[in-house]
Amino acid sequence: MITIKLVLFFIGLSAAAWIDRKTFTIPNWLTASMIAVGLFFGFFPDGSFFAEAGLVRMMESAIIFVLVLLPFLLGRAWLLPGGDGKLFIAITAFTGISFAVYAILAGLIVAVLEAVFIGWKRKMTIKELRQLQIPLAPSILMGVFFSMVFLK
pLDDT tens digit sequence for 63-81: 766 766 666 566 555 555 5
Residue 112 pLDDT greater than 80, yes or no: yes
Query: What would the mean pLDDT of 122-129 be, rounded to a whole number?
Result: 83
pLDDT of residue 81: 55
| pLDDT > 70 in the chain, percent | 76
Given its phi and psi angles, is residue 84 left (phi above 0), alpha (psi -120 to 50 degrees) or beta? alpha
Q: In the 3-class helix/strand/coil scheme, how is the chain assigned residue by residue?
A: CCCHHHHHHHHHHHHHHHHHHHHCCCCHHHHHHHHHHHHHHHHCCCCCCCCHHHHHHHHHHHHHHHHHHHHHHCCCHHHCCHHHHHHHHHHHHHHCHHHHHHHHHHHHHHHHHHHHHHHHHHCCCHHHHHCCCCCHHHHHHHHHHHHHHHHC
Structural domain range at position 16: 4-151
Higher pLDDT pick, 101 / 19 = 19
- What are the pLDDT digits (tens) for 94-111? 888 888 889 999 999 999
CA distance 11 to 53: 24
- What are the pLDDT digits (tens) for 36-64? 888 777 766 554 545 556 667 667 767 76
Number of neighbours of residue 71 by Cβ within 10 angstroms:
15
Q: Total structural domains in the chain?
A: 1
